[in-house]
Structure formats: structure tokens, C-alpha cells
Amino acid sequence: MLEQLPYQCGIITRQISAENPTGEKGGGCHWIPNPEDPDLYHSDKAIKLGQGWKVRPFIRVKAGTTVDLADIRGMGAITQFFFTTNYPRMSEMVLRFYWDDEETPSVEVPAGAFFCIGHDNHPHCVFSYPVAVNPYRGCNCYWYMPFRKRARITLTHEGSEDADVVAYRVLYHLKEIPPDAAYFHAQYRRTVTTEDLPLHVILDGVRGKGVYVGTYLCWNAFSSGWWGEGEVKFYLDGDQEFPTLCDNGTEDYFGGAWNFGYNPFRDDRPEQPFNSPFLGMPLAVTQNRHGCKKFSLYRWHVRDCIGFEKDIRVTVQTLGWWPDMKTYRPLCDDVSSVAYYYQQEPHMPFPELAPLSARWDR
């Protein structure tokens, strides 16, 4: 990437934010402070400074409403997306991305989960290559998102109270997009697994040609002991009963080993959180050794992307150990996920998004 920077001179760069909601050239910071205007809810802070200062740095999003964060016409690519809010439960706010006037979104994910912070009650930092969350809940995404005719990003606030502060930034380049470039997609799912079916589906129903580039899991482990023996499986291009790609354990898939350091016989050896450019477990809530534990895990297939020609299905099992430590134990765990992938359009409609009551942190 660094060696390409000297060859980027002259690219046309635009940015959408609350101060320039259209992204047009010279379109920023035109607002005049007027606290009586609902669209300038925060402008009272600049009343003595006037036009051209920090008049509209944020927007206010009322409960039960949908707002456009960006609506870009033409051809180009989004290169960076920043988002934050003072609203405490980001699971109640849903991001949707639409490419080229499509009727159904290519991205439909609760805001926190999109940025790998799916536990509302346990905000944490994420230090990775395409996604970074910095203190406090400063959410940054660097996935490359090309479009040919239009790019639209909406935010739906399904909570019961207004979000007084929503800050956002969409930086993009206006440029030619090659005809074979695929579109960015992200899909959310949630499952409470059972002993009869200890399985969470990360992605299914995808038809077409594409490449899988990332997994985020928000995992609530309800049983005592170790929880990550399940395998992550990729069923590619017509696979039915047996997958083409299969990992040998949840911790192995996310780059760890040996229970992420957890020792079931010692209270002082819990799972160890970690961050790295392409994989990590930035959250590990382990205080209650014999009760619910919470984990946040990401794996980016940037250097090891997974291609598919016709279809793809991705699953993870929820398995631990019985107390004798000799046989696997099917687990009843709460797992939500985001699958990140590129595919050529058109895409199949996503499953209906889980209702608000099914997305709250447990």
C-alpha cells in the first residue's frame, strides 16, 4: 500500500459529514448558527463564532427514524467510514448500504457489530487492519467499497430514546471502476444454539461469484469451562454434507491456540484478549469462571481470501468439554456474527433482520 501512494497524485477526493452532507466541492461549513433550527441542534456552541466554524459537527437522530448518512451519485469507491454516537446501545442502530439503486441492501448490520463491538455493555478497542475502534467507541472502517452509479448509506434508530450525537464521515474517491470489480457485502445473524443443534450459521443463501474476506463473532458462552472446540467450516460451490475448508477449532481459526490460554484447572489462567492486524479477540470477559463469559473475535481474510464461483455457506459449531475432559460437549451458547464478503451483483435478499429484542446484549 505504501509504495502505491506516490502514484495517487491527482485523485478526486470527496468527503460526506454533518458539516458537508452532500460531499460537493467547497460544500463544507456553510451553516450559520441557529439553535432554533432542529437541523442545527448543536449550533448553540458556535453562536459567538458564526459561519465557517464548528456549527454542525454532529446530527441528532430521533428514535424510530431512518436518516441518510450518505447518498453519492456517480462512479467511485468509499475508502473510509467513521461513526460514533453517544447513544449507549449500538445494537439498536442499524446500518444499511445500497449500491447502484438496488432495492435490498448489500450491508445490513447493527452498528456495533459492524465495527466488531457487538456487546453493548462491554465497549472495547479494536486494533486491526480494516477495522479500528479507538477510545471511546471511535469506529473506523477501511473496507474498500466500489460503486458504479450510486452509493447510499442509511442509519435506522430502533431504540426508544433519541440519539443526541451521531458523528460520521464517509471519505470516497471519484474514479473509474473496472467492470470485473465486485461489491462489498456484510450480513448479520444471531443464534442461541442448543445441545441438539450446536451450530451457528455465519453465512448462507449467497448465490453468485465472489470472495469471502472476514468474520466477526460476538460470543456469549453460557456454560462453565472451555467453549471453543467447534470448527469453522466453509461449504463452497455446491458442497452439501461435507465442506471444502474446515478449521480445527474456534481458537485456531481466530489465530490463537490452546483455549486462548485458558486453563480449566486454574482460576488464574483465563482466556487472554489480543489484537493483531488480521485476527484477534479484543474482548474477553471471564470474571465468572463458572457462568456466562463474553468474547469478541475477528478474522480478516485479507491475505488469505476465500473465493467462490457459485455459492458459499459458512458455519461454526458450539462445542466444549464434558467435566471428564475426554469427550466434546454440545453447548447452548448465544452467538451473533457478521460475514464480510465481495460478490458480483445481483445478490440474493438477506434473511429478515432479527428484531430489536433478539439483538440486545445478554
Q: What digits encode the pLDDT tens for the residues 300-329?
A: 999 999 999 999 999 999 999 998 888 999
pLDDT score, position 290: 66
Q: What's the whole-number mean pLDDT along residues 161-175?
A: 97
pLDDT score, position 287: 84
Least confident of 9-13, 57-61, 265-269: 265-269
Least confident of 4-13, 170-179, 329-338: 4-13
pLDDT score, position 188: 98
Q: What digits encode the pLDDT tens for the residues 262-304?
A: 988 787 899 999 999 999 999 999 987 667 899 999 999 999 9
Contact 22, 30 (CB under 8 A): no
pTM for this model (two decimals): 0.97
CA distance 204 to 313: 5
φ, ψ for residue 62, nearest 5 deg: -75, 150
pLDDT score, position 171: 98
Query: Any bridge partners for residue 141, and if so which?
Result: 81, 131
Q: What's the whole-number mean pLDDT along residues 201-205?
A: 98
CA distance 84 to 118: 14
Q: What's the whole-number mean pLDDT along residues 222-235?
A: 94
pLDDT score, position 140: 98
Helix (H, G, I), strand (E, B) or coil at 17: strand
- Percent of the chain exceeding pLDDT 90 equals 90
Residue ranges and CATH numbers for the domains of the chain are 11-174 (2.60.120.1390), 183-358 (2.60.120.1390)
Burial class (CB in 10 A: 0-12, 13-18, 19+), 240: exposed
Query: Any bridge partners for residue 76, and if so which?
Result: 147, 174
What are the cell numbers at 158?
A: 430502533
Q: What's the whole-number mean pLDDT along residues 20-35?
A: 96
Q: What's the whole-number mean pLDDT along residues 248-265?
A: 94
Structure letter (DSSP) for residue 344 = P
Q: What's the whole-number mean pLDDT along residues 26-47?
A: 94
Q: In whole numbers, what is the pLDDT of the chain averaged over residues?
A: 95
